[in-house]
DNA sequence: CTTCACCTAAACAATT
DNA sequence: TAATTGTTTAGGTGAA
């Protein structure tokens, strides 16, 4: 796995003091430093030597709201990876059992190792009161303290809060998965029925902007949704209605008559106008991450952000299968950073130059009776083979009978 | 408590 | 005529 996933590493970073300590222990090695680059999620700052790295670490990644939030994201990334690993190990075990031991032991090896612990933890965590969040990122002072105390604080609590692990393939949880593995990241939303942490407006805009001509027909937008997000392969009637609704409602979406009929374009100016409002609410992103159950949404955004960092080179290749997620992620990353900035320095501006992605607003995460047995949800990227990434776009995934999220 | 941004549902008109 | 596309209205949630 990736070394960054080390919770310890992350946490240690949070405390400048500890930082120096670990430094002493490991003279010139640091999980967050490699190849002359800061490996802090989303940083990648070039640091000629270890000293400058430490300097950079302490100045740029000090114990503040942003770092704290990023740390949480990283924790979730790790957790998801562990879950994934546990699943795959189980699968591997089953495969081996099947091939070697054959029928003898029908039950493969439900012993996902210690990883299981993480699973159980999350499960119980999700069941636990989701508001045992001690820190309030919004208040740099308070939150920091606990963090400094050690991993336990952040880990446990945030894990609980984040409790994303009840990754049922329900449509209501924005359970990101993440990974340092870029490929997987990009494929995540495509394969996992996880609700993307973006508003419809943002998604629509993204879809349109991604098109060569910056314009799409309604149907093309639909296709983009289903192509990019497994989540939107269900309950089509619902989200399609929402898409249309958004197109009509927001002034930032302009309908243009075209040969093909009519296409939708984005009025960036209008879209930007909306941002200031959201920006003001940005700080909430951080807060959300730990205060309400809505946290998972923004967290996802953050997660995406972190993933984006890693995938930048990938999604920049327009030729790639789906640079979209990357873009989304990067956009969100900016959003996240922006939010952070705003948190520290309020009234900056309506930042027109910043990414327009308004992912801050969570797509409501409705509480869903979590289902412990987490079924064999498609969570597993590998497992989701049933959702062929290259499914027929023209074939809409109309409401499947399976809409357990409908009360 | 109010406002705001979002989401979902649904009615209905216009097009295809 | 049926399906699709657009427009509107209404109700509900959560955050500020």
Residue A229, CA atoms < 13 Å, CB-side half-sphere: 27
Q: Is residue A193 domain-resident?
A: yes
Look at residue A19 in the predicted model and tell me its pLDDT: 33
Look at residue A337 in the predicted model and tell me its pLDDT: 42
Measured CA to C1', the nucleotide nearest A249 is C7
Q: What percent of chain A has pLDDT over 90?
A: 11
Task: List, in sequence order, the alpha helices (H) in A109-252.
Answer: 113-127, 141-149, 151-152, 159-162, 182-191, 200-210, 218-228, 236-249
The boundaries of the domain holding residue A253 are 179-274
Q: Is residue A241 domain-resident?
A: yes
Q: Is residue A314 domain-resident?
A: no
Which residue has the closest alpha carbon to C16 C1'?
A281
* Alpha carbons A239 and A112: distance in angstroms, whole number: 37
Mean pLDDT of A46-63: 78
Look at residue A260 in the predicted model and tell me its pLDDT: 66
Cβ A302 vs Cβ A77: under 8 Å: no
Query: Where residue A222 sits, what CATH number does that domain have?
Result: 1.10.10.10
Mean pLDDT of A238-255: 94
**Residue A255 pLDDT greater than 50, yes or no:** yes
Q: Is residue A227 domain-resident?
A: yes
Going by C-alpha positions, the residue among A167, A118, A210 that lies closest to residue A375 is A167
Q: Is residue A223 domain-resident?
A: yes
**Residue A353 pLDDT greater than 80, yes or no:** no
Going by C-alpha positions, the residue among A115, A68, A78 that lies closest to residue A2 is A78
Which residues neighbour A82 within 8 Å (Cβ) at sequence distance 6 or greater? A115, A118, A119
**Residue A258 pLDDT greater than 50, yes or no:** yes
Look at residue A271 in the predicted model and tell me its pLDDT: 85
Look at residue A250 in the predicted model and tell me its pLDDT: 92
Overall domain count for chain A: 1
In tens, the pLDDT along A150-194 reads 333 333 333 333 222 222 222 232 332 222 322 344 577 887 788
CA of A111 to C1' of C14 (A): 40
**Residue A71 pLDDT greater than 50, yes or no:** yes
DSSP per residue, A367-378:
-----TT-TT-T
* Alpha carbons A42 and A40: distance in angstroms, whole number: 6
Q: Is residue A236 domain-resident?
A: yes
- C strand bases under 7 Å from protein CB: 4-10, 12-16
Q: Is residue A311 domain-resident?
A: no
Which residue has the closest alpha carbon to B9 C1'?
A238
In tens, the pLDDT along A77-117 reads 566 666 766 766 676 667 666 666 543 333 333 332 232 22
CA of A242 to C1' of C10 (A): 14
The torsion of the CA quartet A354, A359, A360, A366, rounded to 10 degrees, works out to 180
Q: Is residue A104 domain-resident?
A: no
Look at residue A70 in the predicted model and tell me its pLDDT: 65
Look at residue A244 in the predicted model and tell me its pLDDT: 96
In tens, the pLDDT along A309-320 reads 333 222 322 333
Residue A370, CA atoms < 13 Å, CB-side half-sphere: 18
Going by C-alpha positions, the residue among A255, A208, A218 that lies closest to residue A240 is A218
């Amino acid at each position: 796995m990736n070394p960054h996933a080390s919770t310890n590493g992350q946490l240690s970073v949070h405390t400048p003091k500890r930082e120096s300590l670990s430094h002493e222990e490991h003279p010139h090695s640091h999980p967050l430093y490699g190849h002359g680059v800061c490996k802090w999620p989303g940083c990648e700052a070039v640091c000629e030597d270890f000293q400058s790295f430490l300097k950079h670490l302490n100045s740029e990644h000090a114990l503040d709201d942003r770092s704290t939030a990023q740390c949480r994201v990283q924790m979730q990334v790790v957790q998801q990876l562990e879950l994934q690993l546990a699943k795959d190990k189980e699968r591997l075990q089953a495969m081996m059992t099947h091939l070697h031991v054959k029928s003898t032991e029908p039950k493969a090896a439900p012993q996902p190792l210690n990883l299981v612990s993480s699973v159980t933890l999350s499960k119980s965590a999700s069941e636990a009161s989701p508001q045992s969040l001690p820190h309030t990122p919004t208040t740099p002072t308070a939150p920091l303290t606990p963090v400094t105390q050690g991993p336990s604080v952040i880990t446990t609590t945030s894990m609980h809060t984040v409790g994303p692990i009840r990754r049922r393939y329900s449509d209501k949880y924005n359970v990101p998965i993440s990974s340092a593995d870029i490929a997987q990241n990009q494929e995540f939303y495509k394969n996992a029925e996880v609700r993307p942490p973006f508003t419809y407006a943002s998604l629509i805009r993204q879809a349109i902007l991604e098109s060569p001509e910056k314009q799409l027909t309604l149907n093309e937008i639909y296709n983009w949704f289903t192509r990019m997000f497994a989540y939107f392969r269900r309950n089509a009637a619902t989200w399609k209605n929402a898409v249309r609704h958004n197109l009509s409602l927001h002034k930032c979406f302009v309908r243009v008559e075209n040969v093909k009929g009519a296409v939708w374009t984005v009025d960036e100016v209008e879209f930007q106008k909306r941002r200031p409002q959201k920006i003001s609410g940005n700080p909430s992103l951080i807060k959300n991450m730990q205060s309400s159950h809505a946290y998972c949404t923004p967290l996802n955004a953050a997660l995406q952000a972190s993933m984006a960092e890693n995938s930048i080179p990938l999604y920049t290749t327009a030729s790639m299968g789906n640079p979209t997620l990357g873009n989304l992620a990067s956009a969100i990353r900016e959003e996240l950073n922006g939010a952070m900035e705003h948190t520290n320095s309020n009234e900056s501006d309506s930042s027109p130059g910043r990414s327009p992605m308004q992912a801050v607003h969570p797509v409501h995460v409705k509480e869903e009776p979590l289902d412990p047995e987490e079924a064999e949800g498609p969570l597993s990227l590998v497992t989701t083979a049933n959702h062929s990434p290259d499914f027929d776009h023209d074939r809409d995934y109309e409401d499947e009978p399976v809409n357990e999220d409908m009360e």
